[in-house]
């Protein structure tokens, strides 16, 4: 494996993922808090890979948008918050494209 691929995978990829997830999460966070006037609980970004605990089989997927933690209220999963942020950026990009085309 060339040195460039090793550097890209070991150093560049985590930095880019951190920027991407952070930017989309905080965009979605701000939008959801503004639209719902703070009524919705959002899971922290650190819980992005956390799954709901239940008696599921290993092959079943957790399709819930809510994260249920013991002794805490349910909160919107961080993946859903990131998805909202991505949709905001997609809408802004489409809007810019439509506004600038001839």
Q: Where are the domains of the chain?
A: 3-51+64-100
Predicted local confidence at residue 81, as pLDDT: 96
Q: How many residues does the chain have?
A: 102
Whether the predicted pLDDT of 99 surpasses 70: yes
Q: From its phi and psi, is residue 61 left (phi > 0), alpha (psi between -120 and 50) or beta? A: beta
Whether the predicted pLDDT of 55 surpasses 70: no
Predicted local confidence at residue 68, as pLDDT: 84
Whether the predicted pLDDT of 60 surpasses 90: no
Whether the predicted pLDDT of 20 surpasses 90: yes
Report the predicted TM-score, pTM, of the whole model to 2 decimal places: 0.82
């Amino acid at each position: 494996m060339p040195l460039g691929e090793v550097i890209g995978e070991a150093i560049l990829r985590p930095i880019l993922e951190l920027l991407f997830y952070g930017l989309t999460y905080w965009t979605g966070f701000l939008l959801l808090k503004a639209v719902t006037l703070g009524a919705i609980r959002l899971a922290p970004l650190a819980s992005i890979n956390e799954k709901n605990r239940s008696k599921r089989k290993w092959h079943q997927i957790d399709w819930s948008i809510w994260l249920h933690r013991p002794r805490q209220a349910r909160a919107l999963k961080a993946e859903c918050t990131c998805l909202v942020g991505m949709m905001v950026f997609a809408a802004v990009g489409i809007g810019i494209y439509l506004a600038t085309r001839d």
